[in-house]
Structure 1
Amino acid sequence: MSLPVVHIARLDWVEPLAVAVGLNRREGALALLAGAGDPSAHGGRWSFVACEPDRMFVGAVDDAAPFETLRDFCFAGGGVVGLMSYDAGARPATGARDEIWPDLMLARYPALLAFDHAAGEVRAVGRGVNAIEAEAQGRRAAGWRAEAVALSIPTAPAAAFVGEASPEAYEAAVADVVARIGAGELFQANIARGWSGRLAAGRDPFDVFARLSAERGAAYGAFWRLGQRALVSNSPELFLTFDPVTGRIETRPIKGTRPRAGDPARDAELAADLVASAKDRAENLMIVDLMRNDLARGAVPGSVKVERLFEVESHPTVHHLVSTVTATAAPGVGAAEVMEATFPPGSITGAPKHQAMKVIAGHEPPRGPWCGSLFGLGLAGDGGLTASVLIRTASFERDEAGWRFRALAGAGIVADSDPRAEREETEAKIQALKEALAGA
């Protein structure tokens, strides 16, 4: 199959969130926003807004070869957005299948707007079978700028945000994992808690995204509406970037968390405590080693490097400990192969990965999209891949009564984990999403 022709027109700046507000009720509405404040602070240079894809896939994947569907979906053609659920990647270890959320969602967007925050410009990107069609799609994307609407922050759309299990049950799960680690079964596992509820009648998942984006937007914030499903993510975590021209692969796993404090002196103390914590550094280092091993499966031998170790990133509600691992892709390795070598992300599974996923499945129902990955290929008109880890994420399904939602938060459990402290960490992580859904 021949690759599409790509047409790019450079336009004056307009805020991507304003364009997203104008398009959010259309089929396939997509907003990948690089966050509030300085979007490059945590790696988020680009934002993207689009709607009305021309090709979609929503369904199950082949358990034996889950990434074949990606390769078959004109993956090399660009303009593709996808979401692979955690369970689709973990199934060889767990056998778990989410009965509500599909393994894989894919959509190809012939028209989209790409917002380059570093250059302060907007690209109208059009794709077609020939130059005339590509230019027409580019004009269609450019026309969306005229539909931009200033954001009016909505009220909280949900009346309740209900835990699916008691705090005591979570602490018991943590204690069990600590015991398993002590027995030598594994070194670390990420154990999650779930919350769920319904939006009020007439309310929409975009209301949640708008509330998050206005003040607490993350570097990999996302809204995606496809059919009767929607996703809102406020993820700060990069899973992968891949540049097919240079072959550079990069991952930035997060391990180690402290809550933010309103008092600047106390806030600085919490960040310093995170950096000094032997437990958090050990937890981070385990996942760095895991990601080095995963990247090596598709990399030139000897090219895997740890470029930065134990850096503090400060987000609206938490401080995180983040490391950066890079590699050079081996000849013949493309975006799908890089995803296949590393999925699910190591930071939300554990070590050894296969055994950690089995332990997780013993304590949790299927995760669905949470801790899977949302990814885009060639959205800016190039062939690059950017994939986030779907933490700080709520999934929505619409039925006859309206929209129901589910959100999760987890903590990395190691040998010296304290169950209560780990439970409190999950509460700090979910706070922004909880407030966006149900208010303070």
Structure 2
Amino acid sequence: MSFVACEPDLCVIGPVRDAAPFQALRNPAFAGGGVVGLMSYDAGARPATGDRGGDWPDLMLARYPALLAFDHQTKEVRAVGRGRTAAQAREQARRAAAWLTLAQTPGTPSAPASAFEGEAAPDVYEAAVADVVARIAAGELFQANIARAWSGRLEPGRDPFDVFVRLSAARGAAYGAFWRLGDRAIVSNSPELFLTFDEASRRIEARPIKGTRPRGADPERDDALAAELTASAKDRAENLMIVDLMRNDLARAARPGTVRVEGLFELERHPTVHHLVSTVSAEAAAGFGPADVLEAAFPPGSITGAPKHQAMKVIAAHEPPRGPWCGSLFGWGLAGELRLTASVLIRTAAFVQGEKGWRWRAQAGAGIVADSDPRAERLETEAKILALKQALTG
């Protein structure tokens, strides 16, 4: 399902280094749904890493009284309205429905940036991978997700929405998103679900991704790469470590005995990569709401490592603050029912508007385990960032 909304009637932009970032989610004003939020990675990592600075708020929240919900399976559009009275809600639904009369099919804009510069040389990343492999060999941890970063500026007069349109035209992802609030915006091409929580059924579901191969240039090569991934003992072990971590995280919010692994190592094909995906589910414990479920498992296990606390310390030794990347974009009650859907903000560029226009930053990481090869892990990050690179620079 996809959503379109604008003009929120309530916004909360938390400070950087908020002492209690999840508390704002428990505000009764957000209980009725229509809420979009972004939790930065650093908000969840800080108990392990301490205060490392950064320039993104820990939490951004907006409540939308009117929105459109597009059901891609039934090919239906629902206009959703909210208000203090039934009459106000109906009026907001009518306002949302009227947007359909203004809909246009956008053309694909030209590339809005001219450069895609790495913040560090490739050999710096390979050295970081080698260091993590050595730490694993010494027994410090089992796995850590280590990232590279690229950054730059959009050309004068260009907008982050241009990047989103270019991504969506050919390579849209299941959890792709464009969201702007004030002078900040994100463009995400994420294929990864962090978790869902349905308040009516009490079901929690997480679908971590671990294991990647690039797509092949022809069908035969593509199938060979997919077969190589599904047969890879390294990638399956990497995936299984995160499945165990997610089982532990969900158990903090689950009714005892309800955590289940429903699928392991399922192959998913995306425009530029193949992935291995597993499914973990649970039944939420009595009294647990969306904020509690998010807090129990945040930040996502697939982009930290195992053990999680130590992995976040190792990540901090090699990376500056991540900001939105590997945090989560989530919606609560967008289609009318009280359901939380939260993505993992991988394949995501973060934008900040200033006097000279929009500057952007994007990252890509790889899960490092005992037998990781530094060069192969670097090439994996380049496969993962390819779609964003092409959307930004052509």
Task: Give the TM-score of the pair, scaled to structure 2.
Answer: 0.99
Q: What CA distance in whole angstroms lies between the structure 2 residues aligned with 1:134 and 1:124? A: 10
- Secondary structure, aligned partner of 1:92: helix
> Does 2:97 align with 1:162?
no
CA contact (8 A) 1:171 1:419 kept: yes
CA contact (8 A) 2:210 2:367 kept: yes
Q: What CA distance in whole angstroms lies between the structure 1 residues aligned with 2:35 and 2:308? A: 28
CA contact (8 A) 2:17 2:57 kept: no
1:314-349 Cα shifts (integer Å, max 9, x gaps): 000000000000000011111111001000000000
Mind listing any 5+ residue stretches in structure 1 that lack a counterpart? 1-45
> Does 2:355 align with 1:397?
no
Shift of 1:151: 1.6
Q: What CA distance in whole angstroms lies between the structure 1 residues aligned with 2:331 and 2:324? A: 16
Q: What CA distance in whole angstroms lies between the structure 2 residues aligned with 1:74 and 1:421? A: 48
Partner of 1:194: 149
Q: What CA distance in whole angstroms lies between the structure 2 residues aligned with 1:335 and 1:176? A: 37
Q: What CA distance in whole angstroms lies between the structure 2 residues aligned with 1:96 and 1:153? A: 41
Taking the TM superposition and a 5 Å limit, the aligned residue runs for 1:3-14 are none
Letter in 2 for 1:392: R
Partner of 1:386: 341
Shift of 1:378: 0.3
> Does 2:30 align with 1:75?
yes
- Secondary structure, aligned partner of 1:332: coil
Shift of 1:98: 4.5
Provide closer, same or farther for how the CA distance between residues 98 and 85 of structure 1 changes in structure 2, counting only shifts above 3 A.
farther
Match of 2:228 among 264, 273, 276: 273
Identity across matched positions, percent: 77
CA contact (8 A) 2:16 2:54 kept: no
> Does 2:188 align with 1:233?
yes
> Does 2:309 align with 1:354?
yes
Letter in 1 for 2:98: G
Match of 2:43 among 84, 88, 93: 88
Letter in 2 for 1:110: P
CA contact (8 A) 1:87 1:98 kept: no
Partner of 1:184: 139
Partner of 2:281: 326
Match of 1:251 among 184, 202, 206: 206
Q: What CA distance in whole angstroms lies between the structure 2 residues aligned with 1:126 and 1:266? A: 49
The number of residues matched between the two structures is 394
Partner of 1:304: 259
Runs of 4+ in 1 over 6 A off after TM superposition: none
> Does 2:112 align with 1:129?
no
Match of 2:93 among 138, 155, 158: 138
Partner of 1:116: 71
- Secondary structure, aligned partner of 1:99: coil
Q: What CA distance in whole angstroms lies between the structure 2 residues aligned with 1:191 and 1:62? A: 22
1:174-195 Cα shifts (integer Å, max 9, x gaps): 0000000000000000000000
Partner of 2:249: 294
Provide closer, same or farther for how the CA distance between residues 405 and 98 of structure 1 changes in structure 2, counting only shifts above 3 A.
farther
Letter in 1 for 2:42: D
Q: What CA distance in whole angstroms lies between the structure 2 residues aligned with 1:103 and 1:82? A: 10
> Does 2:292 align with 1:337?
yes
Match of 1:101 among 47, 56, 59: 56
Shift of 1:91: 0.5
Partner of 1:8: none
- Secondary structure, aligned partner of 1:354: helix
1:81-135 Cα shifts (integer Å, max 9, x gaps): 0000000110011124443211110000000000111111111000000011101
Q: What CA distance in whole angstroms lies between the structure 1 residues aligned with 2:304 and 2:15? A: 21
Letter in 1 for 2:277: V
Q: What CA distance in whole angstroms lies between the structure 2 residues aligned with 1:347 and 1:98? A: 23
Letter in 2 for 1:331: A
Shift of 1:146: 1.1
Q: What CA distance in whole angstroms lies between the structure 2 residues aligned with 1:143 and 1:300? A: 43
Task: Give the TM-score of the pair, scaled to structure 1.
Answer: 0.88
Partner of 1:26: none
CA contact (8 A) 2:18 2:58 kept: no
Q: What CA distance in whole angstroms lies between the structure 1 residues aligned with 2:17 and 2:116? A: 35
